[in-house]
A and B are shown apart, each in its own frame.
Chain A
Amino acid sequence: MQGTMAECTELEWAVQVLVNNFDKYSSRCCCCKNPRRISKKDFRKMLSRELNHMLTDTGNRRAADKLICDLDENKDGRISFEEYWTLIGGIASPIAQIIRQQEQGVVFCWVFRGYLLFIAAIKFGGAAGDAQILLGRGIWEGSLP
């Protein structure tokens, strides 16, 4: 795709990165023609490697399992591209909200040992239950009031 998108925009780059990330951690089940999916093990690996600044408790096995369980609509223990996209959206949406509120001067944060900890209840569309995620230090420090 790089070849055909020589002058891709920042947003297109971002979408491509998220697609590549799925391809990096997903695999096909045996040799059948099923679409690629991410296993629980690889999903946990992906959370801790790729989202370690956004999710402070990605090392937490049970939290990751709960995420997978909530996401895994067809209960096959593996995450499809649609389920993966919903997950990233569930992480991005409260962050977008927090940034907006900060820029409007509403402060929803407190300082703890120099880090910001945000607790966001994330509701996944169609998935059962809420996943509570500690959203941590990192991307918002630059926008501190």
Chain B
Amino acid sequence: MGQCNCRKKRKDCQELTDVERAIETVISQFHCYAVKGQKEYLTPNEMQELLVQKLPHLGKCVGPLEEKIECMGDPNEAKLEFGEYWDMMGDAAKGCRRK
């Protein structure tokens, strides 16, 4: 994976505010990595990859992924949906604020 090819630059991007573009970016990164779950959920491996590659500076604020996955039962079956991904981005955001 690594290289993300599914991000589309939309033609009306210029019209969007920074906040809207930011929301769109967070969504598109989720979709990029959610290959197995067809953009519906991330597997723990996909989430791990996303954290390492896309949040190299903030990833540590999210905390150990293993703990989160453990609560979800079988790690091979675990599905991280958008809501859970968003909460993790929230942890990263709190890390941002502390700096």
The chain A residues found within 8 Å of chain B, CB to CB, are 1, 4-5, 8-19, 21, 23, 49-54, 81-82, 85, 88-89, 91-93, 95-97, 99-100, 103-104, 125, 138-139, 141-143
Q: Judge whether B96 is part of the interface by a CB distance below 8 angstroms.
A: yes
What are 29 A-B residue pairs whose CB atoms fall within 8 Å in the complex?
A11-B29, A11-B55, A12-B58, A13-B22, A15-B22, A15-B58, A15-B92, A17-B19, A18-B23, A50-B17, A50-B19, A50-B20, A81-B97, A82-B90, A85-B90, A88-B23, A89-B87, A95-B24, A95-B27, A96-B31, A96-B82, A99-B31, A100-B31, A103-B39, A138-B12, A139-B20, A141-B12, A142-B11, A142-B12
Cβ B16 vs Cβ A13 within 8 A: no
> Known contacts A1-B99, A53-B17; is A18 also within 8 Å of B12 by CB?
no
> Known contacts A21-B19, A104-B38; is A11 also within 8 Å of B94 by CB?
no
Tell me which of A13, A53, A82, A96 contacts B15 (CB under 8 A). Answer: A53
> Known contacts A15-B92, A92-B86; is A4 also within 8 Å of B10 by CB?
no
Closest chain B residue, CB of each to CB of A55: B20
Cα A54 to Cα B89 with chains together (Å): 20
The chain B residues found within 8 Å of chain A, CB to CB, are 8, 10-12, 15-27, 29-31, 38-40, 53-58, 82-83, 86-87, 89-90, 92-94, 96-97, 99
Given A53-B16, A81-B93; 12 other pairs, CB 8 A cutoff = A4-B99, A13-B22, A16-B96, A18-B26, A50-B19, A53-B17, A95-B27, A100-B39, A138-B16, A139-B24, A142-B10, A142-B12
Contacts of A53 on B, CB cut-off 8 Å? 15-17, 20
Contacts of B94 on A, CB cut-off 8 Å? 81
Cα A85 to Cα B96 with chains together (Å): 13
Contacts of B57 on A, CB cut-off 8 Å? 4-5, 8, 12
> Known contacts A85-B90, A139-B16, A142-B12; is A12 also within 8 Å of B54 by CB?
yes
Contacts of A9 on B, CB cut-off 8 Å? 53-56
Closest chain B residue, CB of each to CB of A10: B25
Cβ A91 vs Cβ B25 within 8 A: no
Q: Smallest Cβ distance from A46 to chain B, in angstroms?
A: 8
Cβ B82 vs Cβ A93 within 8 A: yes
Closest chain B residue, CB of each to CB of A94: B82
